[in-house]
Amino acid sequence: MSRILKRTHLLHAAAVMALITFIGCASQPRQEIPEEDIRARADRAFADLAAEEGGTPGRYDSNTEKPGSTGSATPRRQVDKPVPVKTGPRPDWIDGESRQYPSSLYLTAVGYGPDRPATEDKARAEMAKVFYTNINSSNRTYQEILETTGGGKTSSMENINFEEITNVSTRKVLSGVRIAQVYRDSRSQPEFFALAILDRHQTTEILKDKIQELDRDLQKLLDAAQRHQDKLTQVKLLRTCMQKLVLRQAYNTELRIVDLNGRGIAPVVNFTDIKTRLSNVLLKDFLIALSVEGSKAEDVRRALVEALNQKGFSVSEEVHKASVLARGKIEINPIAQSASGWKFVRWKAYFDLVDQHGGAVFGSVQKTGKEGHLSLAQAEERAVRKIRKTLAAEISQDLSNFILLQSN
């Protein structure tokens, strides 16, 4: 046991940083969101709001917040009556600040187009663009923290979905946007102009409430993580903290936009501190026990130990010390030959993840395949090589997903 742990400790220490990156996010490009993408997101957000107001569920449910839900809903936006279309002298808000809706009290955005519906949509999209662009920029801070520690390594899995969090937070703000004025000039191209407004004071109060609620949730999660002795529970709680911190950052970015002085609310906890705590738990305290039975079990087990080490996990030889037991069985069975002179085997790999704290199975992994060769022994050897070279990495990835994606 001591030889295995010593041999894998250096691999484990390096790999845990890549694992934290895995927890964080997928690789995302370092450029501004394209304008057409922002408009598409805004279109979806407002379509959802319209569907909700009409009694039809939209793409996102306003009564839930998936990324670290705080358990409360934002009231539905009141349906605005269409404002009358104005004609005559060109209004001040087209080319400058509106006297009726001054910047000290409102955020404003102007849209223009060949028809009224498209013009109003464009005005709303221009308002949404301010928030999407700024939140995208603030998200880079967290992405860079994660990727710097992980040596720039990233994963295609998104355990913190930055885009979803942005949609959740921004949709709350966009529910307060309304079209205040529409102007038509039949002599110009474009013909229609629309003014979208957002009440600064009202939105500020809503965002402050959301941030304070998240701060209370974060403190409870951190206290719970401190109290719990079970390492799997600690991993889950700390990962949820990271999600909530990203959501809080999105709300705080929006608050700085709507606040006339650009002020936000300082966070009660630091993202880097939470990431460090999580990496310490995974590096020092979180152990996986691995039990494999069946055909060529020891060969498969050695390959899985190495793959799990590369994922940043320590494999313990003592089951009672582990936080999670990965319990598996390998089957390699002959099957009827389909070509003269060839022998085939069907292989299957089953793994259950058992929470050692309560004994519950919280995840399962199944893999299967077929290999063939001139002799049965050679076919079996090919199956073992397949499991060792390919399936070990896939199984360890699935085990990692189950462990890290558990809900509280």
pLDDT at 58 over 80: no
The verdict on 112 and 227 lying in the same domain is yes
Q: What is the mean pLDDT of residues 271-285?
A: 79
Read off the pLDDT band of 33 (50, 70, 90).
low
137 in any annotated domain: yes
Nearest to 221 by CA among 23, 71, 357, 361: 71
Residue-wise pLDDT for 133-183, tens only, equals 888 877 777 766 665 544 333 332 335 677 777 788 888 788 899 999 999
73 in any annotated domain: yes
Round to whole Å and give the CA distance between 175 and 198.
Answer: 9
Q: Are 175 and 210 in contact (CB under 8 A)?
A: no
DSSP for 76-120, please give it: PPPPPPPPPEE-SSPPGGGTS--SSS-TTTEEEEEEEESSHHHHH
pLDDT value of residue 167: 80
15 in any annotated domain: no
CATH number for the domain spanning 398: value is: 3.30.160.180
Q: What is the mean pLDDT of residues 398-407?
A: 62
Nearest to 20 by CA among 275, 237, 209, 254: 275
Q: What is the 3-state secondary structure (H, E, C) of 329-358?
A: EEEEEEECCCCCCCEEEEEEEEEEEEECCC
pLDDT at 230 over 70: yes
pLDDT value of residue 386: 83
Nearest to 214 by CA among 183, 168, 177: 168
pLDDT value of residue 47: 55
Q: Are 174 and 144 in contact (CB under 8 A)?
A: no
Round to whole Å and give the CA distance between 62 and 379.
Answer: 55
SS3 (DSSP) at 182 = strand
Q: What is the mean pLDDT of residues 230-242?
A: 84
Mean of the per-residue pLDDT values of the chain: 76
**Of 222, 254, 278, which residue constitutes the final position of a domain?**
278
Round to whole Å and give the CA distance between 169 and 128.
Answer: 12
pLDDT value of residue 338: 61
More confident residue, 386 or 206: 206
Round to whole Å and give the CA distance between 241 and 247.
Answer: 10
The verdict on 111 and 228 lying in the same domain is yes
397 in any annotated domain: yes
254 in any annotated domain: yes
The verdict on 264 and 311 lying in the same domain is no
pLDDT value of residue 138: 76
**Of 278, 294, 309, which residue constitutes the final position of a domain?**
278
42 in any annotated domain: yes
pLDDT value of residue 187: 87
Low-confidence winner among 102-111, 150-159, 374-383 (lowest mean pLDDT): 150-159
Number of separate domains in the chain:
2
The verdict on 213 and 152 lying in the same domain is yes
Residue-wise pLDDT for 94-103, tens only, equals 988 999 999 9
pTM of the complete model:
0.65
Which residues constitute the domain of residue 336? 286-404
The verdict on 268 and 290 lying in the same domain is no
pLDDT at 223 over 80: yes
The verdict on 178 and 105 lying in the same domain is yes
The verdict on 221 and 74 lying in the same domain is yes
pLDDT at 5 over 80: no
Ranked by mean pLDDT, which of 31-40, 83-92, 357-366, 375-384 comes out on top? 83-92
DSSP-derived letter for residue 16 is H
The verdict on 157 and 182 lying in the same domain is yes
226 in any annotated domain: yes
Round to whole Å and give the CA distance between 205 and 227.
Answer: 33
**The two structure tokens encoding residue 318:** 């003592």
264 in any annotated domain: yes
Nearest to 184 by CA among 254, 97, 87, 105: 87
Contacts of 169 (CB under 8 A, 6+ apart): 135, 247, 250, 251, 254
Q: How many helices (H) and strands (E) does the chain have?
A: 10, 9
The verdict on 383 and 324 lying in the same domain is yes
Residue-wise pLDDT for 193-209, tens only, equals 999 999 999 999 999 99
pLDDT value of residue 300: 83
| The Cα angle at residue 218 between residues 48 and 41, in degrees rounded to 5 | 20
The verdict on 296 and 172 lying in the same domain is no
Cα end-to-end span (Å), the chain: 32
pLDDT value of residue 156: 28
The verdict on 86 and 182 lying in the same domain is yes
**Of 247, 278, 309, which residue constitutes the final position of a domain?**
278
Read off the pLDDT band of 62 (50, 70, 90).
very low
Contacts of 322 (CB under 8 A, 6+ apart): 287, 288, 289, 316, 356
Side-chain-facing half-sphere of 33: CA atoms under 13 Å: 24
The verdict on 322 and 363 lying in the same domain is yes
- Give the H or E element holding residue 324: strand 324-335
pLDDT value of residue 73: 33
